[in-house]
Amino acid sequence: MNPADIKTGPDGLPVMCASHREVFDVLLRRHANGHADTTDREIQEVLERLTPGRRIEIGSISARLREMNLLGFVLEAPTKRRNVGPRGDRGVLVRASYVPPGLRGAGVAVRRSDIASSAGAVVGCY
């Protein structure tokens, strides 16, 4: 999808369903904190910290990222990164994703409460 075809809300962020928006917001937060890209596992860790007691499967994050990539909301980093293991070991190479600069909004801080208000209805999104 052409980025110019993506519908944006008043905050300049793309209109998307809530399940995509959760992942998108994590990517935005990490961009704001100086991270160029984010792995699926890093997204999982942030979402589980934001929602204590909720277990999020890595496969569901991977699926959201694939869908969002097809829609043009996120891009896959050109190089893979090493996923550092829990003991600091050099893990396997994994993909990392990022939000293109033109879709990062008006630079406003993203809050958890923003997710529901910015999520729109997108066919086929769950």
Q: Which residue has the higher pLDDT, 84 or 63?
A: 63
Structural domains of the chain sorted by starting position, each given as residue range(s) with its CATH number in brackets: 3-102 (1.10.10.10)
Give the pLDDT confidence of 14-63 residue by residue, as tens digits.
889 999 999 999 999 999 999 999 999 999 999 999 888 999 999 999 99
- The beta-strand segments (E) located in 28-121 are 38-39, 75-76, 81-82, 93-94, 96-98
| Distance between CA atoms of residues 90 and 15, nearest Å | 37
